[in-house]
Structure 1
Amino acid sequence: VYEQRVVAPINELGVRTVGLDDVLPRTSRGRWIQYHYTLPANDPDAAERVTIDPDDVPTGYDVAMAANDGYLTSVATTFGGGDLMLIDANGNIVYSADKRIDLATNLANGPYAESQLARLVTEDLGQVRAGDALLTDFSVYVPGGARPVMFAGAVIRRGNEVVGTLAVEIPVEAIDAITGTGPEVEPTGLETLASYVVSTDLLLQSTPQTWFDDPSAYLEGISDAETRRLVEALGSPVGVEIIDTEPVRAAVDGEPFVGRSTSATGQRTYSSSASINVPGASWVVVTEVPLSVVRRPLLDFLLRMGVVAAVLLPLAALAGFLLARRLTRPIPVAVAAARAVADGERHLELPPRGNDEFGDLQRRLTKMAATLERQELALDQEYEQKRQLLLSVLPPHLVSGDGVVSGTGDEIAVRTVIAVVVDADQDELDNDDELAEALAAASAAAERLATDGGIDRIRVAADRSLFVAGGGSDAGADAALAFALTLESELRSLAADAGLTLTVHIGVSTGEVATGVLARGSLTFAAWGEPVRRALAISALSRADEILVDLSTLDAATDEWTTEPADDVVDLDNQPIVVRTLTPRDMDIATP
């Protein structure tokens, strides 16, 4: 019967193959206790208990169980965790609220001596102060139905003597409830924000929301076949899946990570990671945002991890004090600070609380708020730098506000090309730096006027620029002529204010022009067509401060412009081009 109700369900999971001797206590006394009190491992929530025959004479264990079982079971139910266990100083589990197959086993040399619970009881708790509690990492625990669980433990003392340990099993559902993930959360899919916890040995310690949203898709993203089989068998990736990514490695080494990386599923993401230390465990908190998403803060998940340290651990310690000293500790200041961080406060003003757990929590909350502020500022700066870099080579209408190329600008239409050449009298300048400054000022003025007039900048060099006006059904001739007159006037004023001699040569031509973004080699916005060649040739022949316009531009203009015959006829490919000199008229030359 024991093999059918205990051993068989464990082996059916395929996690570990066990025999009867692998799960039974080593001593006959332990086996007697399990015979009378243990429930099957595959039915831990059943209310019915196996009881002793009424005709048997009760042992001292029976009497103690009858006197204390109800109270201890109610304590376990109150804290909402899993099993509650009492372990004596020799490592024997003398009480289990759930009466599972680890009852009456020895954690030092019994069947579960290699478990995280055994390490907590036999090694870790011996190094902490009275009243302190420690956590383990999540791992698969066979008596818990071969499911991933973690334990919180506290030492029980009688005066200065250690009499045993109180251990509380914490199922992964309890951590998921604190971190805000679960089947009741609105589905988000695998392409949205992912937040999770990883231990220093790279094992997953909380359930990502993407698992609840679509378990099948999550399993497909696990490359290792054995890991995928275990996750499917256990119904959870916690304690099984290894998350070996750059953000996790960096945080494990003590360095917070912010930047681009590849997730465990192979998706390119913008990731943030930071380490968070809780008594007994060292965890890494990771948030991953696909590059298509602007930004999601690390705040919510780190805040909930703060709640783990502020609520769960004190509750586990409180259970020990209920049995030993019945002490409590207040947490309102820490809770108020956590709420302030969640509401966007980054500069906490907290009263000093000394060196207890809550004082440490307040200091961690203050440090966390400062870290979040730096990460948010770094994100804002990176997006702005990217946007300014794109604006240096592309027209403003092709760059969105968040620094993303919003189009290719591919178009073939009748447009007007303006070629501008600026010369400076080098005899008036002391050195090459002054020449460069003068030409840079002229180039900046040309770009500003083009932006104000809705004219695309094609390319800009130190002493020459190329612009294209119009688009769609508008050839842009009037805008181009107004821009040329305004630029010539402004550069003349700029030269006068600086005491320099700047000469401007401008050529304007209209016709069918092709424009678009070139991404090969380097990102560039370019224009092609006969008007480009004509405008460059016309500007090369124009005299100082002269604007030469071909007849195609004057024919396309809707306003009347004042022009005069030019002295020269431009010869392009042995084809003469008739040009005229554009002269200012009595109007506001900033707009046609």
Structure 2
Amino acid sequence: MVNPPPEDRDAVAAPAPEVRLRRVRGRFSIQSKLIAMLLGASIVSAAVVGFIGYQTGQASLRNAAFDRLTQVRETQARQFIVQVSTLKKALLVYTSGPAMGEAVQAFGTGFSELANVPIDPAQQQSIVSYYNNDLINPIERATGAKLNLDVLLPSSNAARYLQARYTVPAARPDGSAPAPVPSAWAAAADRYDPFFEKIVGLFGYGDALLIDPAGNVVYSAKKRADLGTNVLSGPYEQGNLHEAYAKAMGADRVDYVSVTDFQTYHPAGDHPVAWMGAPVVAGGRTIGVLALQLPINGINALMTFNGKWQENGLGATGETYLAGADSLMRSNSRLFVEDPQKYQRAVTAAGTPAAIAERAVRLGGTTLIQPVGGDATRAAERGQSGVLIATDYLGQETLQSYAPVTVGPDVTWSIVAKIDTAEAFAPERVFTRTMGVAVTAIVILDCLAAMALAQLFVRPIRRLEAGAQKVSRGEYDDVIPARTRDEFGDLTKTFNDMSRLLGIKDDLLRRERQENAQLLRSLMPEAVAERYRQGEETISESHQDVAVLFADIDGLDALAGALPSDEFLSVVNELVRQFDDAAARNGVEPMRILRNGYTASCGLNVPRLDNVERTVAFAIEMQRIVTRLNAEDDLQLGFRAGIDTGQVTSGLVGGATMMYDMWGSAVDLAYQIQAGGGEPGIYITSRVRDAVHDTHRFTQAGQFTVGDAEEPVWRLLGRR
């Protein structure tokens, strides 16, 4: 008699995971499957349509945002170029007529006459007091720099005279001046002051200077501390005024205008100043230079839209600004104009040194102070135009449109228009929400329709199910009415015929079962036969210190849909063949191969002291095999494996088809950490890590809960 061993009975009591999965899938009704299929098809369709619409809409909205910003930048660049061109043309108009030549000659003659005119000690002291109180002290408070009084004081008698009689009184709060002293210079000033005041006021120039061929500033409309100084040898010989003068004097044509970059200028309170210079020609020779201070207020008004950013399409965070080759601003920041204290906090938090931000607040502007270096300004300096997304000087992610602008023959700046991406892409977020709501509504409607259609579809099946239940109870005489002429109607008729035949065959089977029972009792005792009929046919055995590997190949499902069946099978066979060869080389025993999974162990049937090391080496080789196959066949397969070690149980499972399998906590944990890995790689437990920590590198990849304890998981990085 056949007596099934206890191991077989244990295997039946604990079915394999695949068996459990099939049982779970079998519990779903046809109605549920129909609903799932209908929902799956509708959701996939809605997702595809939504994705295509989202991608198209997003691209359109982003391009529109870039185009709007580029349009603002191009408009500002054109207006700035027109503004600079207008200033140049005005300067050429002023120097082209005889009046400017007469003015240079008149002030030059008057300046020469003042060379020997003395000034009294009180006037000299007034000059010293002016430099200390009105020039040096304010600059030192604003910038922290230390200025040398002796270097700045006028050195020529004419300069001292002019500054005592004009510069010092001009700095007085009431603007009063001492009684005029008759001189050729005073007569020229009476004649030409209104003319130069009109020039300065008409275009907003910061100042107008006349400089003679020797480099003497023989006239200043503002009567500042540069009046009477020499741009070639005086205190400002190293400044950009010297540059503008030298280029204008050396020009070989009368329509030449030299333009300098901004530079701090002591007579202007150390504020940034740029100059435009043009030669003054009389009698075919250059007799001097007219230098006009570039109107920084006009530039700021243009670049800041006079504070009307929103009306010009820049919203709440957009702005345009100019930058020089030194990556410093050449115009004011929008945030500075709106709220200097908020600007100071923002740029300091974004990385600008606190001293620089504080200096901008003290000087009342960001020109030549605020650094704005980045990819946009660097590209513009190379002569490129374009758009990009980058972090700005306020530390915000912004949309930036950039281009170079030519200011003068030797001066090129960058113009940048920017706006925060959060504001620029706000329509994109609204569009995304709208698409999400629309897709969700479609899915909900599809759910309702799927449930209604599925219920209608399975109604005949329910009738057949009720009839089948009666048949299962032995009620073969019940007839189900066929209400339709489709396949369900044919199936109902066939079912009725089957029911009648089953009634006939049931009698035959009853007699055969009685005969089989008698035959079984003749082969084994009744008690054993009863247990055998209950399925106790398992064989099991326990093993200690076994290393278990669960590997999963991601991408095989997608590959199966992309390749013909024979090509796909060839790839899978090659992959399994190489895995088996690697297992043989490492002394690892393959256990089971399931579609995209591979299970192996080491130390199960052949005990080994280094079973963990061998299993880890095998996993690494499997990973290399997948990588190599991807490179050779242009595939995109991923590899993820889990390894644990401990006690396992193995045995035969099944009746007609026997299967050798293993189970236990080590097997379950190896499977769990493989399935739970967040990215491709080899994941190991602490027990495996302790066994190979001297030869391999790894990093912690999370934890799994095993019972009441937390089991840490490690991700293998490679050999040391």
Instruction: Report the TM-score, using the length of structure 1 for normalisation.
Output: 0.50
Structure with more relative contact order (C-alpha pairs < 8 Å, separation 6 or more): 2
Identify the structure with the greater helix proportion: 2
Higher Rg of the two aligned structures: 2
